[in-house]
Chains A and B, each alone.
Chain A
């Protein structure tokens, strides 16, 4: 089954404790992206990757890091989480063109205390 998986689905942590949210897709997509969803703000892009070893900032990159060492994986790293990073996070992937459908993971609900 074609899918985007994320782990963990739920995470409660404390300020300053480094964490990683994993994302994996099995569709051989080139483009991958991370979004955060906050009430009243919709989804905002954090980082994206056009292909392996190619990553760049989206609209709200502060406090986040990413890496793309393999085509299928695109982990999101919070080196020192803060309460304002409490949010619902989605990973997405697509082939690459503007017209392509983005496929979304199930989401990771992160709470930073």
Chain B
């Protein structure tokens, strides 16, 4: 069974500083990996996804993530934080097999931006 661990339930960064949100996965087969963002009182929307093509994936709003198989990681980064980045971020994993192609989510990281 696949799983995802997000290190740090709360992360605070200053406006303009680097954003780094950590995600490690566990899977017995090559996984597909996703980052979703949830703004207050809204549903989740996709930031970016890794589907076994390029290991460095660029997403919306200046975010990117790098798939590192040796470290079983898929950390999310953004060079310069903006106030509008304040939200909760979820890492998720899906494994390719016929059946329930579900997403297994991490517990989330709440990002706070300090003015």
Chain A residues within CB distance 8 Å of chain B:
4, 31, 33, 35, 40-45, 48, 50, 56, 58, 90, 92, 96-102, 104-107
Assess whether B102 is in contact with A45, with CB atoms less than 8 Å apart: yes
CB within 8 Å: A-B pair count = 60
Interface size class of B (residues with CB under 8 A): 20 to 34
B-side interface mostly: loop
CA distance A100 to B108 in the complex (A): 21
Q: A40-B107, A99-B51 are in contact. Are A105 and B43 (CB under 8 A)?
A: yes
CB-based nearest A residue for B1: A59
A15 to B: closest C-beta gap in Å: 26
Assess whether A99 is in contact with B32, with CB atoms less than 8 Å apart: yes
Q: List 16 A-B contacts (CB under 8 A).
A: A31-B101, A40-B107, A43-B90, A45-B100, A48-B100, A48-B102, A50-B100, A58-B100, A90-B43, A90-B44, A98-B94, A99-B94, A101-B49, A106-B42, A107-B42, A107-B43
